[in-house]
Structure 1
Amino acid sequence: MRVIWPVSAFATSSDEIVLVQALITLAAFLVTLGVLVSFHEYGHFLAARLCGVKVLRFALGFGKPLFTYRAHNGTEWVIAPIPLGGYVKLLDARDSQQSINASERPQSFDGKPLWQRSLIVAAGPFANFFLAVMLFALIYVSGVPQLPARLQAPPEHSVAAKLGVVVGDQVIGWKYLSDDRSGNPVIGEFDVVPSWNALRWLLLDALSGEEGFALEIESSTGSRLVKRFDRADLPHIRPESDPFQALGVIPQVTPPAEWSELKLSPLYAVAFAAQRVYLVTKVSGRLMMGLFTGKTTLKQLGGPLSIADMAGKSAQVGWQPFVAFLALMSISIGLLNLAPLPMLDGGQLLYDAWELVAGKRISVSMQEKLQKVGFLLLISLSLLALFNDLQRYLSP
């Protein structure tokens, strides 16, 4: 059952409605950052403890601490006022600000073997992927309404129109084409397509990966046929165009009474969620790479205002859309932190890869120089994302 937040029950004027919506947006934004950042940092924390590394501080937020608790093992748990990130500070002899005595040396991060150091670094992003799987699984266990993959009339000159797709056709099967030679028969079993949402991500995967596919379609008369979309005919993803319009595979508006419900057992829900996270991660990774190839425009970067707006809107619709939003954001954070940039987890993993190949670590002085470059890059991207936000929400 979808729960709609009854804003009208709490507000009697337009000003009060705006105030309630603003409070919901703020609360949803803080919950989003709190959950995603804490889970990411806890991944680092848990891996460090399992590898025998002493954790000096676990911090959520930046700035002067609002709350500090020192555990019996010496770890400081800190909450700070700027909720745009967090960090885990480890015992590390390479840190010039730390003085380590001989008894603590076995618990130092820099004294651990390469595989343990890499595991600790990678645990943060992978904690985000794990969280996304659990959040999606929660939705599937509770039961979620599914828009059928029934298509509207494709735009003229689109790929689907040329293949004879008509209004009312419903996609019931999907198959990637390993044989790209046009005209060859499509053989083998099709994967079931339970909903438009599932089909949408499959289409994005094929378009971003430039891979042909075939659709098994059931017409409004009940007959079944196969439509082959060859790689050479697929539209390219471009910042200025909608690939779904060019492809011509667009969902038909369907009354809620005709929607189905996807409700799975816990085990199947986790397996189905893992497949969905893998697919979303692939597509998101390709779109992120598109920033460097020109397939994705920098204008699509979103900052804290975009996150707050999407969090607030999803929370006002219901708990399931908000949880789905959290899952997608968790995937984004995991991917972003795996980017090979200094100051991100991916940058540290790149240092580890160098050490594995070269047989020696990058010097502390070189890391400090690279950290400065990475800091400037991240600040530049953050400012660009904020500028995009201001253009979206403050421009007339």
Structure 2
Amino acid sequence: MTQTPTRSDFDQYMVPNYAPQQTIPVRGEGSRLWDQQGKEYIDFAGGIAVNALGHCHPVLVDALKTQADKLWHLANIYTNEPALELARNLVERTFADKVYLCSSGGEANEAALKLARRWAHDQHGEHKSRIVSFGKSFHGRTLFTVSVGGQPKYSQGFGPVPGGIEHGEFNDLDSVRHLIDDDTCAVMVEPMQGEGGIIPADPAFLEGLRELCDAHDALLIFDEVQTGVGRTGSLFAYMQYGVTPDILTSAKALGGGFPVGAMLTTDRIAPALTLGTHGSTYGGNALASAVALAALQHIDTPEVLEGVARKHELFREHLETINRKYQVFKEIRGMGLLIGAEMRPEYEGRAKEILPLAIEEGLMALIAGPNVLRMAPSLVIPEADIAEGMARLERAIARLVGEQ
């Protein structure tokens, strides 16, 4: 007899590296979800910036169903039409000449870092292997990417970690000048730090990184796993900054909910990954590529991208209205529909307490560290859902304040 899963099943059967909320969503449509008891929620979390077109968007559902009747997966000794179409579309819409497809953002960043070291090795020799990243950055959970990421808590207990990695201070170009030299192969940076607190890069900072990389023949890697594919209001955030990287990584919104990742680079650098130097079993999977192609084509339109800017202002206006009443936020920041609200000193570390209160009020949100409330909703969330979601958030914050 089939047994309905419960939240306690997580504790019994799953490795305890997550602590999910008690509710279990079972159905989604647009920016709304329903749990096992039929309770409705508005989704400001977006699967952590993944569900860029909401839940079960008809464009993505149609792409998945159509491809499901044709071809699912091939080994990488073959290629397939959806993968080739996805790669071509990414090249035609960006700075890139070549694309590597994989299954996640962590995989994309792992590939980017390996490519950078391999390119530097082939061009300059073994000595050119140092990598510069930034404090509070996040680049994935593989041992390499978690070591490049600037949050030691994620690598503690997993040592020895890969060497040759230095961390500067985000938005502080002088801190990079002291670290970068002719033995540096790459600088890796998020145009807007996500897990680090929703902190946009200063334009001069990214411009300076580009100049430093050029001066030392190092590669500039933009991690756009969270900021890419429409999230900031352009297809990729680098387009808004006017700073072009040598390597760019993408995932999350790229698949609109289907696991997929991509690394983009140029003809100058791509040849370093020669036959057999790197791979991904599911990279270029036909199902994933078909869905990602549909998501990319639908998002990269004026209607969607211009709507992101309008909706950013709506989110900010609602958050400022709430804050005038309850005085809980120190700063509201972000780009497009990746928005962070940092807590005031008297609420230090309490952003995480908002999440269960919001769930009880029928709203799903996120945090970026213990002190920043994070929102990464669908890029096409209706304005009515924004208004209703904010009303629910206000009730949650009123309860937080009342529990002082």
TM-score by length of 1: 0.24
Higher fraction of helix: 1
Greater relative CO, 1 or 2 (CA 8 Å, sep 6+): 2
TM-score normalized with structure 2 length: 0.24
Whose Rg is larger? 1
